Amino acid sequence: MRFISDQAGIMDRYLREQENWSMHLLNTRQFILDAFTGRNIETVAVFGTGWLLDLPIEALAGKFKTVLLVDVHHPPQVRKKVEPYPNVQLFESDLTGGGMNFCWKLSKAQVKSPENDPFEEFMPVHPELPVIADAFISLNILNQLDILLVDFLKRKNFRLNESGIRNFRGKIQQFHLDWITEKPGCLVTDIAEIVAEPGRGSSEKSLLHADLPTGKRNMEWIWDFDLSGFYHPDKETRLTVRAIEW
């Protein structure tokens, strides 16, 4: 389903845009470092850890008794990187609560353009984690959860009507937000994409399909995501990022 090549694509883009990404990565790490002050948290689960670009792993390993890193795939370099920290555990799981399996089955269906909304049947279920977390950190993953699945179905020529897609995106994002807000936590996520064509102005698209929690600490910044014109050919892509702790 190209999850691994998408992850490799993140590293390629980071290497191209390193300087442009530095403020975003610094802001994310600092927001996480400042989280959970004065709260009795021993075990924290972090969702969407990828390459750990935006996670202060050494500080977290020193601060908490157990740190669980969850992603659909942990690259070998990350496995190596966390070896010195015996209290850091890695776990691979589908954080949509079954969306991958559901979309895989849809892609194999005979009927590629169903009359009814096929996503009505999707009922996400919390993946079982190997530890009981006292707190959750959602790390630049919220909209990746729906985007990667919808893109997969489109590549497989599965015909989707716009309202069905919107409902599916909303269901996936709401499931994630409901889950992580069951406990103390923080979330860092891009909420809008701003695409600028030099000399021709810019357009903005929301990436949110569910309501974010209000939280007790909030921050917002712009991430210079792709200024080399690879993501949208010959255009500059920036993302508005929101960080929330509750």
Ligand X SMILES: C[S@@+](CC[C@H](N)C(=O)[O-])C[C@H]1O[C@@H](n2cnc3c(N)ncnc32)[C@H](O)[C@@H]1O
Contacting residue, 57, 106, 133, 139, with ligand X by CB under 6 A: 139
Residue 144 binds ligand X, judged by CB under 6 A: yes
Burial 71-92 (b: 16+ CB within 10 A, else e): bbebbeebeebbeeeeebbebe
Residue 160 binds ligand X, judged by CB under 6 A: no
Identify which of residues 53 and 196 has a Cβ nearer to ligand X in the complex: 53
Residue 7 binds ligand X, judged by CB under 6 A: yes
Residue 82 binds ligand X, judged by CB under 6 A: no
Binding window for ligand X (CB under 6 A); candidates: 29-37, 138-146, 151-159, 197-205: 138-146
Residue 118 binds ligand X, judged by CB under 6 A: no
Residue 97 binds ligand X, judged by CB under 6 A: no
User: Scanning residues 187 to 206, which ones bind ligand X (CB under 6 A)?
Assistant: none
Please give the C-alpha separations between residue 175 and each of 53, 101, 124, 201, 204, in angstroms, as whole numbers.
Answer: 25, 16, 7, 36, 25
Q: Which single residue brings its beta carbon nearest to ligand X?
A: 50
Q: How far apart are CA 36 and CA 216, in angstroms?
A: 11
Identify which of residues 2 and 197 has a Cβ nearer to ligand X in the complex: 2
Identify which of residues 41 and 188 has a Cβ nearer to ligand X in the complex: 188
Binding window for ligand X (CB under 6 A); candidates: 57-65, 88-96, 216-224, 235-243: 88-96
Residue 96 binds ligand X, judged by CB under 6 A: yes
Contacting residue, 1, 48, 193, 245, with ligand X by CB under 6 A: 48
Contact 50, 188 (CB under 8 A): no
Residue 177 binds ligand X, judged by CB under 6 A: no
Identify which of residues 6 and 117 has a Cβ nearer to ligand X in the complex: 6
Contacting residue, 20, 49, 66, 189, with ligand X by CB under 6 A: 49
